[in-house]
A and B are shown apart, each in its own frame.
Chain A
Amino acid sequence: MPQLCGAARDPFLMKYFFAGTETRQYAETLKRMNVVAALQSYYHLGFKRQPNEYQFPLYLLDSGGFTIRERGCDEINVNDYAEFINRHDVKIAFNLDTASMEESLKNQAVLENDTQAKILPIYHYNDWCDGSDELKNWIDDGYDYVAIAGSRAPKTSRIRFYEYCFSIVRNRARIHGLAATAIDDMLRFPFYSVDSTTWLNAEKFGEWHEFRNGRIMKSKSLRVESKGPNPRVRDLNQLIADRGHFMRASITAYLEFEKYVTELWAQRGVTWADG
């Protein structure tokens, strides 16, 4: 097991935003470990919940538009989302993205007009497939922080999509990789920030992660001890007892990885000044 510790904050650190922090128990664990960057979803929080209850210094609010598209139910009213952002004085939020770029652009305009927050536009893999030039337009218009969403695309296409995005944006703006959990992608592309729920795999699958030699090593799932026709399931009580430790180990791994990625890109001449 790796040593469990929090990370001292470097203002030039690549930022790994721990997503899935709407659950208070998870947010408390992160807070105890001095994690400073968290992402929450407006959709998961609900209109009445207070965002960023644990006051993470670096905080991003996602609309949850993607979740809704995935589930094919509910909808988010852009005016409600704007009101929520204003009521809680959220500083940085993602646009309410939809399957239609036209509609997303309208939402972007509403949120920019009706709130004081920095609204990050989102360029999707499908937008690229559709031949949309919006990413280029945003950069030309002076956006200095944009989000790209391609993590669900097949790997080869995802790499081509990221290549396109970084060739357009270069060092003119900071890029947030939405759910950009693939370690190789972070080593290959200089994301300013990413978010992921992978650290919650301890809770979901009973597995834990460890940072070793520049990689995040994943343990075998500890939920099942043996495979085959009659798999032996690990003692549930022990699993419950251990999962907190696994989660803390995984958090430590991602904090160490965050530092490593920063150093790696610094070697390549890329640094991220906070802005």
Chain B
Amino acid sequence: MGGWMTLEVAALITAPWNYKQTEGIEEKKMKLREALKARGQIVNLIVRELPDSRYEVVNGNHRLEVFHELSVKEAMCFNLGVVPDAIARIVALETNELEIPADPLKLGGVVRSIAEAVPVDEILRTLPYSPAQLDAMLLAANFTWDGFRSNSPTADELEAGQGPKKHRALLVLDLPRDLVDRFKAEVKRFDTDAEAIEHCVTHLASFHNDTSQQA
């Protein structure tokens, strides 16, 4: 019999056909974990019964992982009962993918109203926004041209600007083999291309003389 029920987390297994991403979602999982820690389980899992008395999670596979991490013993679930694969997958898509798009401007307004009551760090802990995204939404409330700072470059930035500009150059030279080998050996002694070239140019005449004498 299906319906609403509380199930032991140990009896739940993730769906092998779950199509959600598993890589690159660490930050979202961290936020999910923080939200579950802060407010407990609010959204139920959807499961279906398997022949071996276990339950396959149709919707909520990532939450199940977090339940395990947090050692949660029981979870509120909606049990579809014994249903074919196709029905389980349809329900997964119906409940996961039927997302009504937000009006971005109204969404920004809601976020700003939250920011008036809750510290930014707290917002970032659980809501699915990066600091930059949150910044952009919060900026809408108080944009002024005076808000832009007339920054001067830092020491590192000054160094980046004042250092020698780097140019890539391809030189095609017609040189004797011995001289090329000697050049390659010399280049290895230096940390940067610029130092190597400077050394070789300075000593080009002596290289050439040495090589001619050896020949």
Inter-subunit contact A157/B132 (CB<8 Å): no
A22-30, A82-90, A210-218: which lies at the B interface?
A210-218
Inter-subunit contact B104/A72 (CB<8 Å): no
For B137, list chain A residues within 8 Å (CB). Answer: 214
Interface size on B, residues (CB 8 A): 36
Is B188 interfacial (CB-CB < 8 Å)? Answer: no
Would you give the 0/1 interface string for A83-120, flagging 1 where the beta carbon is closer than 8 Å to chain B? 00000000000000001000000000000000000000
Inter-subunit contact B167/A214 (CB<8 Å): no
B69-77, B115-123, B138-146: which lies at the A interface?
B138-146
- B92-132 interface (Cβ within 8 A of A): 101-102, 104-105, 107-108, 130, 132
Contacts between chains A and B (CB distance < 8 A), count: 104
- A69-90 interface (Cβ within 8 A of B): 69-73
For A73, list chain B residues within 8 Å (CB). Answer: 168-170
Inter-subunit contact A129/B161 (CB<8 Å): yes
Which of B101, B108, B132, B168 has most chain A Cβ within 10 Å? Answer: B132
Inter-subunit contact B150/A168 (CB<8 Å): yes
Would you give the 0/1 interface string for B132-160, flagging 1 where the beta carbon is closer than 8 Å to chain A? 11011101100101001111111011101
Is B202 interfacial (CB-CB < 8 Å)? Answer: no
Inter-subunit contact A267/B105 (CB<8 Å): yes
Q: A186 — nearest CB in chain B belongs to which residue?
A: B136
- A247-275 interface (Cβ within 8 A of B): 260, 263-264, 267-270
Inter-subunit contact B132/A188 (CB<8 Å): yes
For A99, list chain B residues within 8 Å (CB). Answer: 165, 167
Is A48 interfacial (CB-CB < 8 Å)? Answer: no
Q: Among A72, A163, A166, point to the contact of B168 (Cβ < 8 A).
A: A72
Known: A163-B151, A264-B105. A128 touches B136 (CB 8 A): no
Can you list the 3 inter-chain pairs with the closest CB atoms, starting with the nearest? Answer: A129-B161, A72-B168, A214-B104
Sampled A-B contacts (18; CB under 8 Å):
A73-B168, A99-B165, A131-B158, A131-B161, A157-B156, A163-B150, A166-B145, A167-B148, A167-B150, A170-B145, A171-B145, A184-B130, A184-B135, A184-B136, A188-B135, A213-B104, A213-B107, A264-B105
Q: Which residues of B contact A (CB under 8 A)?
A: 21, 23, 101-102, 104-105, 107-108, 130, 132-133, 135-137, 139-140, 143, 145, 148-154, 156-158, 160-162, 165, 167-170
Q: Which residues of A contact B (CB under 8 A)?
A: 69-73, 99, 126-131, 157, 160-161, 163-164, 166-168, 170-171, 184, 187-188, 212-215, 220, 227, 260, 263-264, 267-270
